[in-house]
A and B are shown apart, each in its own frame.
Chain A
Amino acid sequence: DSGVTQTPKHLITATGQRVTLRCSPRSGDLSVYWYQQSLDQGLQFLIQYYNGEERAKGNILERFSAQQFPDLHSELNLSSLELGDSALYFCASSVGGWYNSPLHFGNGTRLTVT
């Protein structure tokens, strides 16, 4: 068990809808990262927050947004969903930036858009 909790485990929704994925980092970790995993694209970095502030941005679509709250949990909001957004979404956490300490991944949220 990595100590990173993601909810829900599965999510099925229709195109055009909006969903929120939630992540609780390991106790003591200040950074939260979001990754998208699809069969043909591997693990794609979306965004990182450190202690409530956005730290780095990857290939995150404008329809997607995230935030990290004062208690350090994070939410990833996906709106105007398309079929191609179906994927596994992983949250990871680390004590500091990635180059200082390992990333610990949750078990992901599987999103299916129908």
Chain B
Amino acid sequence: GENVEQHPSTLSVQEGDSAVIKCTYSDSASNYFPWYKQELGKGPQLIIDIRSNVGEKKDQRIAVTLNKTAKHFSLHITETQPEDSAVYFCAAPTQGGSEKLVFGKGTKLTVNP
């Protein structure tokens, strides 16, 4: 089915703490997993993505991990800053090869100074 579950829906952390957002997907043929950040009044912006041939990818304070066996992937943000406050979306393709990118329902992250 076309389903991407994202948790939690809201997350509040103190500045400097880490934040973790998790997503599960249903299509075992899925092979590309992007994460988007959406700030108020703007469109989603790609912040990191991972393909199924790797288990982890890092870009400065952001990392994504993928567990293909369990069909879940996670976004990790370390040393959070107030400007990290936004809504984060995960996404995964459906029906293996079909060009439909299904998004999770989003996580509203608030970083408190």
Q: Footprint of B on A, CB under 8 Å?
A: 2, 4, 33, 35, 42-43, 45, 48, 55-56, 58, 90, 92, 97-99, 102-108
A42 touches B93 (CB 8 A): no
B105 to A, closest residue via Cβ: A42
Size class of the contact patch on chain B:
20 to 34
A103 touches B99 (CB 8 A): no
Q: Which of B34, B46, B93, B104 counts the most chain A CB atoms within 10 A?
A: B46
CB distance from A89 to the nearest CB of B (A): 10
Return the contact of A56 from the options B34, B98, B104 (Cβ within 8 A). Answer: B98
* CB-based A-B contact count at 8 angstroms: 55
B102 touches A107 (CB 8 A): no
Which residues of B sit under 8 angstroms from A108, Cβ to Cβ?
Answer: 42-43
Complexed CA–CA distance, A103 and B32 (Å) = 12
A108 to B, closest residue via Cβ: B43
B100 touches A45 (CB 8 A): yes
Contact with A along B10-45 (1 / 0, CB 8 A): 000000000000000000000110101000011111
Return the contact of B44 from the options A56, A97, A98, A105 (Cβ within 8 A). Answer: A105
CB distance from A108 to the nearest CB of B (A): 5
B34 touches A102 (CB 8 A): yes
Q: Is B89 located at the chain interface by the 8 A CB criterion? A: yes
Q: Is B56 located at the chain interface by the 8 A CB criterion? A: no
Complexed CA–CA distance, A102 and B44 (Å) = 11
13 A-B contacts, Cβ less than 8 Å apart?
A2-B43, A35-B103, A43-B106, A56-B98, A98-B32, A98-B99, A99-B93, A102-B49, A103-B34, A103-B101, A105-B43, A107-B41, A107-B42
B46 to A, closest residue via Cβ: A102
